[in-house]
């Protein structure tokens, strides 16, 4: 299998963390989705990374799809197979992916010339991020994991999202949510997180 992506994309990082956590054989191929000669559009019509090329030539895209596929290859599952636990895990992942979307959207808007920026976009995305942090803090368990008694896709996705906030929208969210900050530090110390942190980014 070949995973195409960049070192800074948080969607790619979700997949890289899972590959490392499950010790799967998967080659990582650096690819810039924005480059004029990018190899991505022929693989993913949406032109986005991550894209996963399987050994039979099939291509999977969209990080939740890739995460679920790779998770299915080797036990124990990080995504619960059925029942309430599955919906809860998928909801955590949706929350985390929504935070990534909001941080990316905020970042792209902030990079536009000031005169062309919309007055609403940045505050609107920041409000989504603030509400998601509130939600995560409110639904935090007392233990090291968001769900059950072990590391799941919920922990993976939410910790990647929190660290992406640090990377692209640095602000003192830990001051408001210290328990969430402590939880994130615990997950972020796992080797899979340490090894996939974007270049130049330190753990908080």
Ligand X SMILES: N[C@@H](CCC(=O)N[C@@H](CS)C(=O)NCC(=O)O)C(=O)O
Which residues contact ligand X by CB under 6 A? 9, 11, 33-34, 47-50, 62-63, 97, 104
Q: Quote the least distance from Cβ 178 to ligand X, whole Å.
A: 29
Q: Which residue, 14 or 177, is less far from ligand X as judged by CB?
A: 14
Distance CA 127, CA 129 (A): 5
Minimum CB distance to ligand X smaller for 44 or for 177 = 44
User: Could you tell me the maximum CA-CA distance found in the chain, to the nearest angstrom?
Assistant: 52
We find the least distance from the C-beta atom of residue 130 to ligand X, in angstroms, to be 21
Q: What is the CA radius of gyration of the chain?
A: 17
CB 136 within 8 A of CB 158: yes
DSSP line for 61-76 = ESHHHHHHHHHHTSSS
Q: Which is nearer to ligand X, 8 or 88 (CB)?
A: 8
Of residues 48 and 177, the one with the C-beta less far from ligand X: 48
State the nearest-atom distance from the C-beta of 104 to ligand X, in Å.
6
Q: Which is nearer to ligand X, 48 or 106 (CB)?
A: 48
Q: In terms of Cα–Cα distance, which of 185, 180, 176, 178 is closest to 204?
A: 185
Q: Contact at 8 Å (CB) between 157 and 14?
A: yes
CB nearer to ligand X: give 34 or 120.
34
CB of residue 51 vs ligand X: minimum separation in angstroms? Answer: 9
CB of 114 to ligand X, least distance (A): 23
Residue 56 CA, distance from chain mean position = 26
CB of 45 to ligand X, least distance (A): 11
Q: Where are the alpha helices (DSSP H) in the chain?
A: 10-21, 40-43, 63-72, 83-110, 121-138, 153-168, 173-176, 178-188, 191-194
Write down how long the chain is: 204
């Amino acid at each position: 299998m070949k995973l195409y992506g960049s070192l800074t994309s948080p969607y790619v990082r979700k997949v890289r963390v899972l590959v490392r956590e499950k010790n799967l054989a998967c080659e990582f191929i650096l690819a810039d989705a924005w480059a004029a000669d990018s190899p991505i559009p022929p693989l993913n019509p949406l032109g986005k990374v991550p894209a996963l090329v399987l050994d039979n030539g099939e291509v999977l895209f969209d990080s939740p799809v890739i995460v679920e596929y790779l998770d299915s290859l080797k036990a124990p599952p990080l995504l619960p197979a059925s029942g309430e636990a599955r919906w809860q895990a998928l909801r955590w992942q949706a929350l985390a992916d929504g935070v990534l979307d909001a941080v990316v959207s905020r970042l792209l808007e902030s990079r536009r010339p000031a005169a062309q920026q919309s007055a609403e976009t940045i505050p609107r995305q920041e409000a989504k991020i603030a509400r998601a942090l509130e939600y995560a803090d409110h639904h935090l368990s007392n233990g090291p994991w968001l769900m059950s008694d072990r590391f799941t896709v919920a922990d993976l996705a939410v910790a990647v999202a929190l660290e992406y906030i640090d990377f692209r929208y640095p602000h003192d969210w830990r001051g408001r949510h210290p328990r969430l900050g402590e939880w994130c530090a615990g997950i972020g110390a796992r080797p899979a997180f340490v090894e996939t942190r974007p270049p130049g980014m330190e753990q908080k």
